[in-house]
Structure 1
Amino acid sequence: MTAPGQFGVKGVQAERHWPPLTLEEAGRVLGRFALASAPDTLLWHGQRPFSATALVKLADGTVLFLKRHDPRLRDYAALMEEHAFMAHLTAQGLPVQVPVKDRAGRSVTEENRWIYEVFRPLPGLDLYRDVQSWEPFFCAEQAHTAGRALGRLHLASKEYAAPARPNDRLLLSSFQAITQPDLETGLTQWGKSQPGLNALFQSPSWEPDLKVLLPFHDRLKPLLSHIEPLWGHGDWHPSNQFWTSSDPTAEICGIFDFGMSDRTCAAYDLTVAIERTAITWLASDYTVTWDQLAALLAGYQSIRPLSPTERRLVVAFLPLVHVEFALSEVSYYRTLVHDAASATVAYSDYLIGHAHWFARPEGQALLHWLEDTLEQTASCP
């Protein structure tokens, strides 16, 4: 089958940064696993930008999900960090599918300088398969369901004690820089481990661009000592969930893609979910899906009510939650895939453009509304 394009920084694009998986490649990789038959057909190619994925049908009808990584982005150690967290959540009863192990008992397979994972299909529907991050839910009811599920995930991860992931991991939902008392120093130190960012921080435009972030960091700074560390999903969007049906009343029956997970805190991970789903960043005019955002927050707090400090943290995090990921995208596009145009968009439109929006009246209105709504949903029975 012909592979489609990929999700890019401005929507779907024809160019793919990573070559699509082939049937021959799937045969070599899956030959390392104790399977009853060999690959027969590639049913589907994923459009996500940071890896190559496919559904592989075996000759006996079995279907497997195959994922290939460049080791510069996710090496063996990085994937084992994710797998350990996934195994913990599975043990806590969450619908998380752990990877299939090969004949050597490894959940990560290396072949021809690539890194692979193999998963059995999740039950239910991949309802949002063609929906990109920064696009909303289909309805407020499903936003409420996603909020409840995220609350359960945070309860399940409470006892997970692994340390934060290393600074040199690209494309994590991390907050190692923005939670430093001085934002510029924090970004400079963190950026030393992200390829190419040192040069960016020394450019003449960096200092004036940084200034738009500083008032938001001033609001966060008094709350830093109150953060309670917690591992989060890092990319809570409905496209990372399987659903029981397409109805508004559908439940989430599968959770996947923990590639951006890290040890942050509950408020931060909830804020990531808000940033991913509640503002139409891919549209020409940014709008807020108010009803869905209210439903997401109500669903979350019905399972795991936020403390007063956590509610303040959500508001303080929202204009900053994208900062480290956006800068890491700049590093990724510049140094791994050599896509200068996407790196420029990640910096100008994503990092700086989103921050400027939060400084404008419409962004400020969202922050004020969020503060009020969090108080209201916290008081609901």
Structure 2
Amino acid sequence: MNDPLHLAHGLAGDHTPPDWPPLTAGEVATLLRGYPAPGAPRRIDWHSPRPLSAACLVETEHATVFVKRHHRSVRSVATLTEEHRFIAHLRERDMPIPGVLRDAQGRTAVALGDWVYEVHERAAGIDLYREAISWEPLSNLEHARTAGRMLATLHDAAADYRAPQRDAHILVARSELIAAPDPVAALRAQLPQRPGLDDYLRERDWPHDFAELLAPWHAAAQPRLAQQPRLWTHGDWHVSNLCWSSGGSDARISAVLDFGLAAANFALFDLATAIERNAIAWLALDTGRDAAHPDVALALIDGYRRQRPLDATDLDLLADLLPLVHVEFALSEVEYYHAITHSRANADVAYDTFLRGHAAWFGTPSGQALLQAIREHA
């Protein structure tokens, strides 16, 4: 009933053993006994290749449901419920998001032993990009425009959501550091509450790295970042987190998935993340191929402003923000790999390749050309 050879997406775009053991039939059966609506499970149809949690599609007596499991060191019931409240708000405003099921006690997040679980309705439509990794550029420009417009629609729906900031840093896309007047001082203030990250950074001259790679971009962007209206954001707007009505270029988005990185940020942060995820072939850097796909970036922007206006000032800030948008999620991955999965090799990749390498790329001719294309697109 379960594939013992199940593999996950690795940091180099390869397939590697997942960080967490795959969900088993017995485990799913135990969990779903507490959920009256789906009925008893019949079989596991598919395991997600995402490495940071374990998830699967389960066919039950009455439906097919999506089951996701987190280690309690990554998500607690409380922090997972933060995501579910945001999803509920967006669904009330007609966003096409699968519902989160409640168990017999009315809970959307359930703790069993070392694990915390959530169960979702199956997403409507076709999961065209479910095997794609988050740094694999999108080739269909019409899909990019459609994705951009749906992101703007989500931002409209989130505009009146007033929840406080997430209670977690690990594997959450946040923007406090880059919005702060002094990111080094802001991170130093966080480290006593983030001992795993603190332990890793003791062996790194991270203030020097921040000054060398991030300070020039931060100096240009920060005064305007501090003025951006607060907005809860998706945090991982890649086409692999969207389902579609068909495989054609005229397909509409039938479902928006995976709010695990969602947090209180601002709209341009989410749009910059979408460009960073969909329009730059980060894994191509080692091959010498050009990583930039400005046509995809501009298509995302065009789709976005069909729904929400963006003027020249917005696009200028968007370009200045792009070299910074990954910073806090990269640090959260460092913390995750060092303190939770205890993989020094992966923590080093998160720090050197993701945190430092991505920021440095924007100083290359290819990175500069992408930023200039965005600025000139007004």
Do the two structures share a fold, i.e. TM-score over 0.5?
Answer: yes
Task: State the match for 2:122 in structure 1.
Answer: 121
Identity of aligned residues (%): 40
User: In structure 2, what is the Cα distance between the partners aligned to 1:145 and 1:135?
Assistant: 17
The match for 1:15 is: 17
Contiguous gaps of at least 5 residues in structure 2: none
Maintained 8 Å contact 2:178/2:222: no
Equivalent residue number for residue 57 of structure 2: 55
**Greater shift after overlay, 33-42 or 93-102?**
33-42
Alpha-carbon RMSD across the aligned residues, in angstroms, is 1.5
Distance in 1 separating the partners of 2:214 and 2:199: 19
Q: Which amino acid in the other structure matches residue 6 of structure 2?
A: P
Q: 1:76 to 1:204 in 2, by over 3 A?
A: closer
Distance 2:297 2:120 in 1: 32
Q: 1:352 aligns with which of 349, 356, 360?
A: 356
Deviates more, 1:143-152 or 1:209-218: 209-218
> Is the CA contact 1:137–1:238 (under 8 Å) kept in the aligned structure 2?
yes
User: How far apart are 1:13 and its partner, in Å?
Assistant: 2.6
SS at match of 2:240: helix
Aligned to 2:298: 294
Partner SS for 1:276: helix
Q: CA deviation at 1:286?
A: 4.6
CA displacement 1:242-261 (0-9 Å, x = unmatched)? 10011111110101100100
Evaluate the alpha carbon distance shift between residue 342 and residue 201 of structure 1 in structure 2; reply closer, same or farther with a 3 A threshold.
closer
Greater CA drift, 359-368 or 172-181: 359-368
Match for residue 340 of structure 2?
Answer: 336
Superposed counterparts of 1:302-341, under 5 Å: 302-341=306-345
Provide the residue aligned with 2:193 in structure 1: 193
- Are the counterparts in 2 of residues 144 and 297 from structure 1 also a CA contact under 8 Å? yes
Between the aligned partners of 2:116 and 2:38, the Cα distance in structure 1 is 23
- What's the counterpart of residue 152 of structure 1? 153
CA distance in 1, matches of 2:29, 2:199: 42
Length, aligned pairs only: 372
Matched, 1:280 2:281: yes
CA contact (8 A) 1:220 1:316 kept: yes
8 Å CA contact 2:197–2:338 kept in 1: the answer is no
Q: What is the deviation of 1:11?
A: 1.4
Query: For residues 274 and 224 of structure 2, what CA distance do their matches in structure 1 show?
Result: 20
Aligned to 2:80: 79
**In 2 relative to 1, CA 9–194 (structure 1 residues): closer, same or farther, beyond 3 Å?**
farther
The 8 Å contact of residues 152 and 303 in structure 1, kept in 2 or not, is answered as yes
Name the aligned partner's letter for residue 15 of structure 1: P
Find out whether 1:223 has 2:261 as its counterpart: no
Q: Can you give the 5+ residue segments of structure 1 that lack an aligned partner in the other structure?
A: 376-381
Contact between 1:63 and 1:121, CA under 8 Å: does it hold in 2?
Answer: yes
Determine if contact 1:200/1:206 at 8 Å carries over to the other structure.
no
TM-score by length of 1: 0.94
Candidates 39, 43, 46, aligned match of 2:45: 43
Cα distance in 2 for residues equivalent to 1:212 and 1:36: 50
Could you say what secondary structure the match of 1:260 adopts? coil
Instruction: Within 5 Å, give how 1:124-139 maps onto structure 2.
Output: 124-139=125-140
Match of 2:372 among 351, 368, 371: 368
Conservation of the 8 A alpha-carbon contact between 1:41 and 1:56: yes
Q: After TM superposition, give the deviation of residue 192 of structure 1 in Å.
A: 3.5
CA distance in 2, matches of 1:12, 1:112: 31
1:53 match: secondary structure: strand
| Contact 1:123–1:242 under 8 Å retained in 2 | yes
- Aligned residue for 1:177? 177
CA distance in 2, matches of 1:192, 1:112: 28
Contact 2:292 2:366 in 1 (8 A): no
Match status 1:66 vs 2:67 = yes
Is contact 1:194-1:328 (8 Å) kept?
no
